[in-house]
Amino acid sequence: MSYEGWRLASSTPDAAGAGQREMELASRHGARVVALPNREYPPLLRRIYDPPVVLYVMGKAPLTAAPWVAVVGSRSATSYGTGAARYLARQLATAGAGVVSGMARGIDSAAHRGAIEAKGVTIGVIGAGLGYQMTARLQCLAREVMQSGCLVSPFNMRYPASRGTFPARNRVISGMSHACVVVEAGVKSGALVTSRFAEEQNRDVFAVPGDINRPTSAGTNDLIYDGARPVIGARRFIEDLAAAGVPVKLQNLGSAAQARGLGPVDAAVFEAVRSDTSFEDIHKSLAMPARDVLTSLSRLEVAGLIMRGAGLRFSRKHC
């Protein structure tokens, strides 16, 4: 079997009884067990070497709800990175793709929330059992993800998180996805482990270029140097996915993609501005510091894309 928890379970004297108790525990937590022969089991994941025998799933969406794309990156992300992740996830959702990530702080959380904001579907894969005690932050994000997508774990319900569980989580993230995009990552980031799994599984790997002076961009820039495809704009990224055979819909891309001359941060801020939107609402919808939001709003105003009203309220000039 694929993971240590299942190796331990298989060695217990009463394997059938242990399995029954595990199923009952999953049911009490509102989780379902998706075994390898099940039709809901992700088709790409079942083709990797030594796939997990079962997946535990909590949430509304089936694991076959969309063509999945992994969006991963650093926990210690900059506002540039979180803005880019949120923007790309929105565009993926608008194009009909689902977003898979690892529920961590920083890039992962921004990717999940970008998909949710675009009314898309997202899967959060965690490195522990679904019945293991979550932090308050993780519980909050889990509730958001389960409303439109689902949580997934390859570990039995009470299996604890540890350094050793996260490579297994990353392998599921890449294995169920058509492609993997690393948004921001240092040279020792766990996101690079996901990208290496993706390469081994013959998935396309993309990376968002970053500031050469920022440590959080060193890993992504190295990926590009070593052959990963650079993400230079949302529409080009979606077009590259389509050309690689991922069933995405270019015609569904929204207004932020139409403003593709914008950088990722400005595009994310522009997407948050509608008609007479307060600064508080714009800031609340974005995972970036207030000063960066204000700077971006000023750039968008100078560019003639938005106009400022009384009381720090903003509207698009061309809705």
Tens of pLDDT, residue by residue over 120-129, are: 999 999 999 9
Alpha carbon distance 284, 295 (integer Å): 16
- If DSSP codes are grouped into helix, strand and coil, which group holds residue 282? helix
Domain spans in the chain, listed from the N-terminal domain onward? 4-12+24-252, 273-316
Confidence of residue 92 (pLDDT cuts 50, 70, 90): very high
**What are the angstrom distances between the C-alpha of 43 and each of 37, 39, 125, 171, 241?**
10, 8, 16, 15, 18
Q: Write out pLDDT tens, residues 56-65.
A: 999 989 999 9
**Does the structure show a pLDDT above 90 at 148?**
no
- The per-residue pLDDT for 318 is 46
DSSP structure class, residue 120: -
Residue appearing with tokens 């961009």? 217
Average pLDDT over residues 271-295: 88
Cα 314-106-109 angle, rounded to 5 deg: 80
pLDDT at 30: 86
**Lowest-pLDDT range, 71-75, 171-175, 190-194, 304-308?**
304-308
Q: Provide the mean pLDDT of the chain.
A: 88
Give the pLDDT confidence score for residue 292 in this predicted structure: 92
Rg of the chain (C-alpha set):
20
Residues 6+ apart with CB under 8 A from 262: 256, 270, 300
pLDDT class for 110, splitting at 50, 70, 90? very high
Residue 55 token pair: 């997946």
Answer for the pair 67, 98: CB distance below 8 angstroms, yes or no: yes
Token pair in block for residue 297: 């709003």
The topology under which CATH files domain 4-12+24-252 is: Rossmann fold (3.40.50)
Q: Report, as an integer, the average pLDDT of 132-152.
A: 94
pLDDT per residue over 197-245, tens digit each?
999 999 999 999 998 999 999 999 999 999 999 998 888 899 999 999 9
Which two structure tokens, joined as six digits, stand for 106? Answer: 């920083």
Phi-psi sector, 85: left (phi>0), alpha (psi -120 to 50), beta = alpha
Give the model's pLDDT for residue 14. Answer: 58
